[in-house]
Structure 1
Amino acid sequence: MNAQVDSRPYQEATARLPLIRSFLEARYRRTFFAHHALTHHLYRGVYPTFDEAQASIPLANTSGYDNTESADLYRDRTHRVFINDYPMIYWLGRWFAEGARNVFDLGGHIGIAYYAYQKLIVYPQGLRWTVMDVPAVNEAGEQWAKEHDPLRRLHFAEDIGNAAGADVLFAAGSLQYLRYSLAEALTSMEPKPRFLLLNSVPVHMRESYFTVQNIGTACCPYRVTAEREFLSGLSKLGYELQDRWENPQRSCIVPFHPELSLDRYFGFAFRSIQS
């Protein structure tokens, strides 16, 4: 397991002592961008756009998941189910019972959920599960599938446009890494997916912003969306909220910005009112 750097001392710094805060911020920046193996899942900075968050990452640092080291992550999760997976499993099974057969897994890495969930759900005949991820991850997923997906139900894509016409758009912990929002991606998509099944979404009660996450192998721009913006964006596209749950095991602590930090993430199930 990766060693963890305790960010709480940085979180507790205040603006009452500007020189001390400036010193702490500079020290935290050096720690954040150095020795990836020691800085797993830390956050730094607040930015209004994806591009500004991206520009804050030094060129010497690996950025994003499109690299071999990031593609090799999470193999253990292909056979593990966590407590926050159970709402996803419930809704997926329910929609399979309603006839859903085409799942588009946005940012699903090598097919983590596809492999892990099949021991708890009887997958229907004719299931097609398509993962969209970056090229390095897709390549790793295709190689893994040759040995672990004998029924050849798992496929890979690089374009969100391939989600058009899917029964279920599935996203577990991936929306935050996209340059575009989910609502933006769905706006021009026809036909739109019938169902949206979303997990581990970082939602702030008031503010939308980007930060930078260090995942241990790379640094990534990271989207946090205001609750009203997130829900209204999907409602305007004709999606009705069916369920919502909290995941208090996930947090996003942005040092020096306690008012923007999150102590939990959220999951959502939506149904198109046209389905």
Structure 2
Amino acid sequence: MTRIKSLLKSVTPTFVLDARAQRNFFAKPGWYATHLGAFNSFGEANEYIKKYSIPAGFKLNHDEWLKERMKLSSHDYPVLFWLYNILNSKNLTTIFDFGGSVGVSYYAFSKYFTFSSNLLWTVCELPEVVDSGNRIKEHLDGEHLFFTTDQQLMQKADIFYTSGAIHYIEEKLHELLEKYNARPEYIIVNKIPLSPASEFVTIESGGGSGYYPCKIERESSFIASMKKIGYDEQDRWKCVEHKMNVILHPELSFTSFRGFVFKKVTVAKHD
């Protein structure tokens, strides 16, 4: 049967296969992310979504996402390692968690080490997610958690942390940090899709609800942009549980997302 399917696929015109792939993609969003197309901007991707009479947007069941994230994936352990060492060896007490849902990383990591009494873990999210985070916090041990919609609070952070979120905004990370004049000591980025060669916007479907743009940066450009604003790379890893298969553009696909730790460069003072 597999051989027959392969044969049929080989003789079927590409435009027919592409049309079928698009119909399947827009039929119903699944829980795990899938991607379609390559675009020049978020606006262009949103216009493409509207062609299918589907409102562009994303709505995640954060209660279910919290349950999913309580079990660490392999790409979470480098973050756990770095946070443990930074928080225990440096006088750093404030974490700004950009796009951190209802505090999923905080709750997941708190099972593995005890946070200091003066730690402040701030999650920056959309208003409805902040409401959910505060509701869940009442029933779980979230004494160090604070939820906000104010991105400007990243100015006060010792550690800027983001996991699987930064590619859903059009601004690049260095642009976001410069916009608010934020200079944290450490920047930890996890689950970021970076291409070895190309830069583009694609449409993602995932989380069981919605279709929305996400940006794919070139890996070398991303690292160079962090260096340009004064950060040296300390570590990197592969997030092998996440890959980018781009429907209609298989040449843009890659096998894993990435994770990084950057440290602010200290400029030596001269007498």
Using structure 2 for the length normalisation, give the TM-score: 0.88
The one of 205, 209, 213 aligned to 2:200: 209
Distance in 1 (CA, whole Å) between partners of 2:171 and 2:111 is 33
Aligned to 1:251: 243
Q: Which segment drifts farther, 105-114 or 186-195?
A: 186-195
Aligned to 2:113: 121
The residue correspondences of 1:161-172 to structure 2 (distance < 5 A) are 161-172=152-163
CA-CA distance at 1:198 after TM superposition = 0.8
Distance in 2 (CA, whole Å) between partners of 1:107 and 1:249 is 20
Distance in 2 (CA, whole Å) between partners of 1:73 and 1:51 is 30
The one of 147, 157, 175 aligned to 2:166: 175
Structure 1 unpaired stretches of 5+ = 1-8
Aligned to 1:26: 19
Distance in 2 (CA, whole Å) between partners of 1:122 and 1:218 is 36
Higher Cα Rg, which structure: 2
Distance in 2 (CA, whole Å) between partners of 1:29 and 1:189 is 39
| Residues 60/127 of structure 1: CA separation in 2 closer, same or farther (3 Å cut) | farther
The one of 87, 96, 103 aligned to 1:96: 87
Structure 2 unpaired stretches of 5+ = none
Distance in 1 (CA, whole Å) between partners of 2:148 and 2:56 is 21
CA-CA distance at 1:218 after TM superposition = 1.0
Distance in 1 (CA, whole Å) between partners of 2:69 and 2:192 is 20
Is residue 2:212 matched to residue 1:220? yes
Identity percentage of aligned residues? 27
Distance in 2 (CA, whole Å) between partners of 1:194 and 1:35 is 42
The one of 25, 34, 38 aligned to 1:42: 34
CA-CA distance at 1:72 after TM superposition = 4.1
The residue correspondences of 1:66-145 to structure 2 (distance < 5 A) are 67=59, 69-97=60-88, 98-145=90-137
Asked whether the equivalents of residues 107 and 142 of structure 2 are also in contact (C-alpha less than 8 Å), the reply is: no
Distance in 2 (CA, whole Å) between partners of 1:88 and 1:40 is 22
| Residues 164/268 of structure 1: CA separation in 2 closer, same or farther (3 Å cut) | same
Q: Report Cα offsets for 1:3-62 as digits up to 9, x if no partner.
A: xxxxxx99xx89xx8x8221222222111111224x741111101112211222137435
Asked whether the equivalents of residues 53 and 221 of structure 1 are also in contact (C-alpha less than 8 Å), the reply is: yes
Asked whether the equivalents of residues 78 and 111 of structure 1 are also in contact (C-alpha less than 8 Å), the reply is: no
Q: Report Cα offsets for 1:185-243 as digits up to 9, x if no partner.
A: 01233341111001111111111111011012111211111012101111000001000
Secondary structure, aligned partner of 1:80: coil
Distance in 2 (CA, whole Å) between partners of 1:183 and 1:138 is 24
| Residues 253/96 of structure 1: CA separation in 2 closer, same or farther (3 Å cut) | same
Q: Report Cα offsets for 1:243-262 as digits up to 9, x if no partner.
A: 01112221010023222101
Distance in 1 (CA, whole Å) between partners of 2:66 and 2:215 is 25
Distance in 1 (CA, whole Å) between partners of 2:214 and 2:138 is 32
The one of 230, 233, 236 aligned to 1:238: 230
Aligned to 2:56: 63
The one of 255, 262, 267 aligned to 1:270: 262
* Stretches (4+) displaced over 6 A: none
